[in-house]
Amino acid sequence: MPAIIDHDQRRLEIAQAVESIVAATGVQAVTIREVGKVAGFSPTVITHYFQNKLELMTFTYVNARLRSTSRVEQQLAAEAGPLQCISQCFPTTEDRQTEWKVWFGFWGMVTENPNLKQEQSRGVEDSLNLFSRVYHAADARGELSGRADINALATRAQYLVDGIACLALQQPEMWTAEKQLATLEAELKLVQ
């Protein structure tokens, strides 16, 4: 009897291999052959699921983005405040640092391939909507001043997260998890 293969799980395993390559040596090192080697599959298996590097990177990028979104969604469901929700997006753990490396790698590919621009734009829009939901929930619980501009707060959260993540990846010894969270907390106190 042939083995039953969970194709969704196989795609995720391949994406994890892509993430580990990007984290270790950068997006330029991602090839079908290298992904197969790291994932423990032949290049033929990889090309069964993904036709090329662009498909590999796009799937990996979306998967990493969904994991981050899921963490924020869990905090929203627990009625956590903006600090707890937004902090889920920061590169405070090794796994989250890898997510950011994947995102930065994907964003760099956008300049080389305009077809990827749509997916990047969707990610920007989705994160802005997610931060808006965080602030709407906080406002509904009475955690914000009555004059809060939700759109402005969501936009500020977006550039704060992107900026701190960028610094944290460039200077990890300076931008520790503690400093990232303390900076976020200080910024949120200024605007809420």
Show the tokens assigned to 46. 């990889």
Q: Which of 167, 163, 184 is nearest to 175 (CA)?
A: 167
Cα–Cα distance measured from residue 65 to residue 102, given in angstroms and rounded to the nearest whole number? 9
Amino acid in the structure at residue 159: Y
Cα–Cα distance measured from residue 70 to residue 67, given in angstroms and rounded to the nearest whole number? 5
Domains and CATH numbers, the chain: 7-191 (1.10.357.10)
Amino acid in the structure at residue 134: V
Residue 1 has pLDDT above 70, yes or no: no
Please give the torsion angle defined by the CA atoms of residues 67, 59, 98 and 10, in that order, rounded to the nearest 10 degrees. 80
Q: Label residue 192 by pLDDT band (50, 70, 90).
A: low
pTM: 0.90
Instruction: State the average pLDDT over residues 12-24.
Output: 95
Q: Which of 27, 188, 17 is nearest to 105 (CA)?
A: 27
pLDDT digits (tens, 9 = 90+) for 25-39: 999 999 999 999 999
Are the C-beta atoms of 62 and 119 separated by less than 8 Å? yes
More confident residue, 152 or 148: 152
Strands of the chain, DSSP E: none
Cα–Cα distance measured from residue 10 to residue 162, given in angstroms and rounded to the nearest whole number? 30
Are the C-beta atoms of 15 and 60 separated by less than 8 Å? yes
